[in-house]
Structure 1
Amino acid sequence: MQCLFAFVLILLLLCFGFCESFECKSGAGHRSGVAYTIWVDQSGKGEFKSVQQAIDSVPCNNNKWIRIYISPGIFREKVTIPADKPCIFLEGSGSRLTIIEWDDHKCTSDSATFSSYPDNIVAKGISFKNIYNIPPVVLEGKNSVVPALAARIYGDKSAFYSCGFFGLQDTLWDVEGRHYFYGCYIEGGIDFIFGSGQSIYESCQVNFTLGKYAPQYPEGYITAQGRSSSDDPSGFVFKTCAFVGTGKTYLGRAYGAYSRVIIYRSMMSDIIVPSGWDAWDYVHQEGNLVYEEANCRGAGANTSGRVPWMKKLGASQLHQFVRRSYIDKEGWIDKLPIKS
């Protein structure tokens, strides 16, 4: 009986430790503090010369914010944050100065330059690049555009501030979970913001580059959101963003039967095709798709030629999505160890 009691006690302690590990502890005050900082510098001034080495040094199931400061430089490496290493704050020296790049172009699941699996991850002032398609490789006399991801984000409660994402096809895989992108730059040409994330993109610049790198394509697609059912909470919300670039593009196409994208108070240049949206594999199911443009401006914001099934949400419905509470009812963003 005593052995059974000890066994149960150990299980409870393990369970408690596991649950706690995914809720980063706060420092003094309202905003969470950083327990300690790891310095990455290619010249050898820091503790590590590569970003991956610094991540590998973080204890498994860590439950305190650990800051990894990355000096200016181009870091030629693929970087992965494993699922058992939450509470990491990657801070670069600015998106034009700290760059993580690679040129993989295998399948979607393993070509990403940067992959993040755990909950509670923050990045600031870093560019993530997949340079395989920039410019595209010429095959049989034509520019060949293939999936080559800059980043894929799995974990819940992940935030990116003033980061850059560079690719051409499938640049940013917003896989799943609640994500917040603020002041970021995202470029690409085909489905370059895609996935089933429940995300807000605020004050971001979205740069369409298919016309620059592969002009043989008549048009591209900015988003491919994968919401799969009516009770799926996922969706992409673009708030006070700018859509610019070279060539012609759709705002998005349906990557799921209930795909949802909302664009609010944003600027659209003349790159947007008049119809705006594509049902893709869900023709005759358009009534389930939620594509909304509200209070936008610019040459591409004229909705008179949009697809007839584009949604028109009421003010109360719209506010459910454009307010931060769509992804942050419990206030996790304000507790991050960063000032926006």
Structure 2
Amino acid sequence: MDNTHTTGEFRSGFVSLVGRPNTGKSTLINALVGEKIAITANQPETTRRPIRGIRHEEDAQIILVDTPGLHRPRTLLGERLNESVKETYSDVDLICLCIPADEKVGPGDRWIVDALARFAPTTPVVGIVTKVDKATKDETGERLLELYGLLEEKGEVVPVSAMEQTQLDVLVDVIKRHLPEGPKFYPDDHVTDDDRDTRMAELIREAALDGLHDELPHSVAVAIDEVYDNPTREGVLNIHAIIYVEREGQKAILRGKDGRRLSRITHRSRLEIIELLGTNVYLDLRLKVAKNWQTDPKQLGRMGF
């Protein structure tokens, strides 16, 4: 192990990024890890499980946990997502609260800070103002002051842009200062502890969500059905996956006119999966209705929630 820190110590720990849905947490994790770990989409509540991405530094290993956005739940799925967030709070060394620079601090942010005080009263919190590339300097300054006040003037607040890689090194230094001394948890070539099928399913879901309207994203789930070597084409992996929706009308939306949208989803996710696996793939996507799966405990369990 290369312990080149000036004090000779190596730091490691778990860092949870929290915030309202759609505050740029997944994009920030991908930027910090240097590889696509978490899917991103314009709709809120894209992240459904805590995702771990790993940043390797010479003197530290930062395990980043992207939690679903904490929100007032409307379905059983929403309740389970919130439970998974609360469990994560109690297991991490540092919490980073994300607020976008282009949106004023609101009741949802205050609700999260109250939840942090209840579920992780002793865990240090760092504030991050995200998406500074989308805001003026004055707006960013306002957000920094609002966030500092929201955290009751305790802890540090850092402005960043994941898209433009601005201030990420500053954020990493701040995070490292809060981590305990400890060993590496993962080998140097690890960037996530998500398994292959989970990552493939998430890439398909991201492609399916692209360009959808607000009513549909929460209803989309993806399961990998089968993965095997193509019997006739060497070096090709056959992947069969199912995209679940809750109603027939949603199935029609995803299929699109003459099956064009489904073809686009298949094409985009196939390219992403090829990049992930480093091998050629044949991807077969099917659409299925799982009626009201978000409120059905059995179906939620089958889909891993």
TM-score range, shorter chain: under 0.3
Output the TM-score relative to the length of structure 1: 0.24
Larger relative contact order (C-alpha < 8 A, sep ≥ 6)? 2
User: Which structure has more strand as a fraction of its residues?
Assistant: 1
Output the TM-score relative to the length of structure 2: 0.26
User: Which structure has more helix as a fraction of its residues?
Assistant: 2
